[in-house]
Amino acid sequence: MDDVLDLVVREYARVELLPAYVGAVAAWVITTPVRRVVWAFLWQVWRVVRLNGGMWIEIVARYQDVLQNRELRQLRGPAYAYALWSAVFAVPVQVLRDGEVEYGRYGRMHRSWWVAGQVTFGEYGPELLVRSARSIGRYGRAAGEACLLTGRRVFVKLHGVGWLLLLLLSLTIHIPMALYDLLEFSLCGTVGVVAVVVALNALNYLLKWISLGLEATVSIGCLRLLTHGWRLSDGDGRLQKMAPHHLLGNAWESVLRNADVRDRSEEASLLKLQEPDVEDLDDFQPAEDELLYEEQAAPTSVACSESDVPLHFSEADVELANTLSHLAAQASALTEMASRAQLRVRRGRQTLG
């Protein structure tokens, strides 16, 4: 040991090193203000790190209490997922509110950001997703209904073409029958028609007027058979409904009826799209500290009263709002219970200490 001490003295306690030692002491004394600033800066850095570290440790501990809560574990499905998602924002808000004195203005600033995240991503975001999904489904159904309505329009057009063809067929049958009726009326009945036809055929045979006399006679005979056979076979009046004036009346009634059904179907489909998808942004709470304290102290409403429901809301919208409010109330209650349990544990530790 003495040898080591002698070696150190010979190595560092030399006269030529004295100026260096004096300069180091002088530099230490001269730089005292700078060192104080550096130490103050490092102390502030350590304070911020310790403050943030303690805050996050407390938040993680609260998260553990929330996850171990029995009431939370009893939730299933979307309610459980939404409660966990709400706790992501509700727990830091609760921690920063309980530690307002410790964290001060820095904590209030962080709390404002967490409250903004809670309102945006914890309340507005899920509701926006749900309403967007409902809106997409509604527009998808409306598109399907529009395709069906387009098909109905095509069917109506084809139905109109069918009425037109049926009218042309009726005219093809009834115009010759009307001409034959006019001929019988002019010649005073069937006997007159037969007499005129026989006389014309005799004159045509003698004078050779036309070469189609036989064909004309056969055509007149067929028209007579068609006219009288049509009327004799129409005992119950069904063939009378094939008359052009009956067809025109039925076609007009069908067009009006189809147009009315089409208009009502299209209006009903459009009314479904006019339902509101998302509430106005003004309906959500602002991220202000004074209002937040009052909101935290006031009990959370579980269901919407009838007076608070807008007139344009449907029953499905009211049910969705009630469900989301109920889930948010459950998450807030679970967070409050966890914070109280953590506070009791702290007091017990302090008492034991």
Sequence ranges of the domains in the chain:
1-51, 144-273
Predicted local confidence at residue 191, as pLDDT? 76
Predicted local confidence at residue 301, as pLDDT? 41
Predicted local confidence at residue 41, as pLDDT? 92
pLDDT tens digit sequence for 109-127: 888 888 888 888 888 888 8
Rounded Cα gap, residues 231 and 247, in angstroms? 18
pLDDT tens digit sequence for 53-71: 888 898 888 888 888 888 8
Higher pLDDT, 3 or 137: 137
Return the top range by mean pLDDT from 95-104, 174-183, 189-198.
95-104
Return the top range by mean pLDDT from 127-136, 191-200, 239-248.
127-136
Give pTM, 2 decimals. Answer: 0.46
CA-CA-CA-CA torsion for 296, 299, 305, 307, nearest 10 degrees? Answer: -60
244 has pLDDT over 60: yes
299 has pLDDT over 80: no
To the nearest 10 degrees (0 to 180), the angle between helices 78-98 and 315-352 is 50
pLDDT tens digit sequence for 324-351: 666 667 666 666 666 665 555 445 444 4
Report the pLDDT averaged over residues 320-325: 64
Report the pLDDT averaged over residues 19-41: 86
Confidence at 278, pLDDT banded by 50, 70, 90: very low
Higher pLDDT, 15 or 150: 150
Residue 192 in contact with residue 224, Cβ under 8 Å? no
306 has pLDDT over 60: no
CA 332 to chain centre: 27
Return the top range by mean pLDDT from 254-263, 297-306, 338-347.
254-263
Predicted local confidence at residue 352, as pLDDT? 43
To the nearest 10 degrees (0 to 180), the angle between helices 289-297 and 100-117 is 90
